[in-house]
Structure 1
Amino acid sequence: MKNKIKIVIPAAGEGRRLKPHTHTTPKPLLSVAGKPIIGHIMERIKDLNPKEVIIIIGPNGSQIEKYLEENYSLNFQFVIQEDPKGLGDAVYRAKPYFTDEPCLIILGDTIIDMPLENLLKEENWIGVKKVDDPKRFGIVEIRDGEITKIVEKPAEPKSNLAIVGIYYIFDSSALFKALEKIIKENIKTKGEYQLSDALELMIEEGIVFRAQTVEYWLDCGTPEALIQTNRYLLQNNNYFKPRPNALIRPPVYIHDTAIIENSIVGPFVSISEDVEIRNSIIKDSIINQGAYIENSLLEHSILGENSVVKEKPLHLNLGSFSIFETS
């Protein structure tokens, strides 16, 4: 089965909640635990040996294309979504690459830990997880393990099972038929063509979907969520070489080119290449390429590429090339 499967990864989102970082870097390329978000997704799918991986990118998605082609030997196809018309529209743009092959859809800003190789069979499913605030998510209602209804961000949810951003459809022709219908008939929810509306249409037509519980769902949609995801992934991605003038408290990821002097780093810190840290204490933070930190205490922070921090701040969310300095 796995050598027949095709995978669709919508990665065209603007990442508005992650600004200022997404001013210069597409959301799927934001670093977490030493690797871009989409890199962590690739690590989870590469052993499935998919026939094709179709990446839906925005007009400025060339950085994503470059990263994937330079780092992974999968058969990629890149499709541009010019205007953000919704997830349903994004997935529909992959239609030319399908006839009726099995289709696995994984959102490009979501990292999910689950045994995919055991789940790609002749059965449709949608990944779900119980949440405390289902109004924020698309949710499913189920009976005897089968999904009976899908509702996008309901005002009065009848279920707390949230859709987490991974979907498996055994016969992709049925999916694209439903997507074509909602687009041609201009069926929108909250002003966009929703994938959930197409899936609900399939269910109404008698196509069976099972709810597949996901144990670990790592959302990367906000700075706070990115830091939480970094914390989780570092528990299995701890990497650093000892520095003679630094105290390192694992788990951390520290690139070999980073310079750390007279500082305490960790736990739960990711440091990218060419970073310099001097006379500082850093914990629970993500420090991106080329950043410079001196005489500072940082906690629960994200520093963009080539940003500069000098003196005293405790919590920062700086985009690329930002400078924070106190006298």
Structure 2
Amino acid sequence: MKIIVPMAGRGSRLRPHTLTIPKPLIPIAGKPIVQRLVEDIAHVSEETIEEIAFVIAEDFGVETEENLKQIAQSLGAKGTIYYQDKPLGTGHAIMCAQESLDGPCVIAYADTLFRADFKLDKEADSVIWVKQVKNPQAYGVVSLSENNQITGLVEKPAEFVSDLAVIGIYYFKDGSVLKEELQAVLDANLMHGGEYQINDGIKQMQAKGYVFKPGKIEEWMDCGNKNVTVETNGRMLQFLQTEEEKLISPSAKLENASIIPPVYLGDDVVIKDSTIGPNVSVGKGTVIENSTIEHSLIQNYSTIKNAQLKNAMIGNYAKYNGNFTEISIGDYSELI
């Protein structure tokens, strides 16, 4: 099976953190979002992952490309890089990876993390994972038939269709069928708001009798902006604690420190005269002194002193010494 990951977006809602690195490489509980995404798919899938294709912007850089290839290799898969040169929608992004779009495929957008029942319905030509939501008018939703088949896809419905929101993870028994239908969408210049959408390819498949079934999602965690990313970091830490993943590096140094789980501490972190947790991730090489931090996400090689932080997000190589609480500062920033 192959995994296709469209991730060329700039992540503008997560600025300033995405000014220096792409949003899918922002760490959640010590690992980049995209790494956790593909690891989770590989972990719950019953099929061997042969290839992971990442669709990125060309200006993401060589270092990002190498990091993505290493993520794929760590799962025993081939890592392939494709470029999307213009923001022309999900359908266009997927077709940028058309050389890899054949056989069994999972398409997963790299701003979502999940906990799910990933068993594939053998009678379905495709599975679309959905989550019940309280405000369906804010999402793309599916309609279902009496025999639990997906009969329709409606984007942000003004009138109630269903409360089952599409989360951005799809399985296709044969990716070449989707490729053929998306090519027809591109050839017909069928656009919505200046973009080509995967939904138009799916609707054409449905019109030809292909069977789509819903997949069950237990937990859907978004990384769209600072507040929900911090919340997702906390939820992921809670899951990882239950799953007994090692969260505190043996090289972390604790001096008169109180740790309230769940907490992630990366390599060579120094915590002195401070209380950390719950739901805090601290990246490698960061030093924290005389501070109380909870429900926050701090990246690598930063220095934090005399802080009382909650719902904070701090980038790499930042320096902070102050009285603000719910801060959001990017890489190489100083607030002292």
Question: Which TM-score bucket, shorter chain as reference?
Answer: over 0.9
Indicate if the aligned counterparts of 2:92 and 2:197 stay in contact, CA closer than 8 A: yes
**Residue 76, structure 1, aligned to residue 107, structure 2:** no
8 A Cα contact 2:72 2:79, kept in partner? no
Counterpart among 285, 289, 304 of residue 293 in structure 1: 304
Distance in 2, Cα, partners of 1:77 & 1:157: 40
The whole-number CA distance in structure 1 between the counterparts of 2:160 and 2:225 is 23
Q: Aligned partners of 1:198 and 1:176: how far apart in 2?
A: 8
Give the stretch that moved more between structures: 56-65 or 130-139. 56-65
1:262 to 273, 276, 279: 273
The aligned counterpart of 1:174 is 177
Structure 1, unmatched stretches of 5+, are: none
Q: Distance in 1 between matches of 2:39 and 2:175?
A: 24
Within-5 A mapping of 1:138-153: 138-144=140-146, 145-153=148-156
CA apart distance, 1:51: 2.2
| Larger displacement relative to structure 2 (89-98 or 249-258) | 89-98
Residue 334 (structure 2) aligns with? 323
Secondary structure of residue in 2 paired with 1:164: strand
Aligned-partner Cα distance in 2 for 1:298–1:203: 50
1:122 to 1:91, Cα distance in 2 relative to 1, 3 A: farther
Return the alpha-carbon distance in structure 1 between the equivalents of residues 295 and 80 of structure 2: 36
Give the aligned length. 319
- How is 1:62-141 mapped onto 2 (pairs within 5 angstroms)? 62=61, 63-73=63-73, 74-99=77-102, 101-116=103-118, 118-119=119-120, 121=122, 123=124, 124-141=126-143
Partner of residue 275, structure 1: 286
Question: 5+ unaligned residues in a row in structure 2: which ranges?
Answer: 242-246
Partner of 2:24: 28
TM (norm. structure 2) is 0.90
For residues 155-194 of structure 1, what are the structure 2 equivalents within 5 Å? Answer: 155-194=158-197
Q: CA deviation at 1:72?
A: 4.1
TM-score when normalising by structure 1: 0.93
Segments of 4+ moved more than 4 angstroms: none
Supply the distance in 1 between the matched residues of 2:90 and 2:199 (Cα, whole angstroms). Answer: 9
- Once the two structures are superposed, residues 186-240 of structure 1 have per-residue CA deviations (whole angstroms, 9 ceiling, x without a partner) of 1112321111221122112221101112111111111121111111110133422
Deviations 1:91-129 (A, max 9, x none): 112212244x1111111111122243x327452210001
Identity %: 35
| Alpha-carbon distance in 1 for matches of 2:270, 2:59 | 32
Contact 1:28 1:64 in 2 (8 A): no
2:323 is paired with a residue whose SS is: coil
1:271-306 Cα shifts (integer Å, max 9, x gaps): 001101111110000001111111110100100111
Provide the secondary structure at the position in 1 that maps to 2:254: coil
Which whole-Å deviations, capped at 9, do the CAs of 1:241-260 have from their partners, x for residues lacking one? 57231111110001131111
State the alpha-carbon separation in 2 of the partners of residues 72 and 169 from structure 1.
20
Q: d(CA) in 1 for partners of 2:173 and 2:32?
A: 29
SS in 2 for 1:305: coil
RMSD, aligned α-carbons: 1.6
CA distance in structure 2 between the aligned counterparts of 1:192 and 1:92, rounded to whole angstroms: 13
Match of 1:244 among 241, 255, 265: 255
SS in 2 for 1:175: helix
Determine helix, strand or coil for the equivalent of 1:221.
Answer: coil
One-letter amino acid of the structure 2 residue matched with residue 296 of structure 1: A
Residue 196 of structure 2 corresponds to residue 200 of structure 1: no
Residue 128 of structure 1 aligns with an amino acid whose one-letter code is V
Looking at structure 1, the residues matched to 32 and 8 of structure 2 have their Cα atoms a distance apart, in angstroms, of: 15
10, 15, 22: which one pairs with 2:11? 15
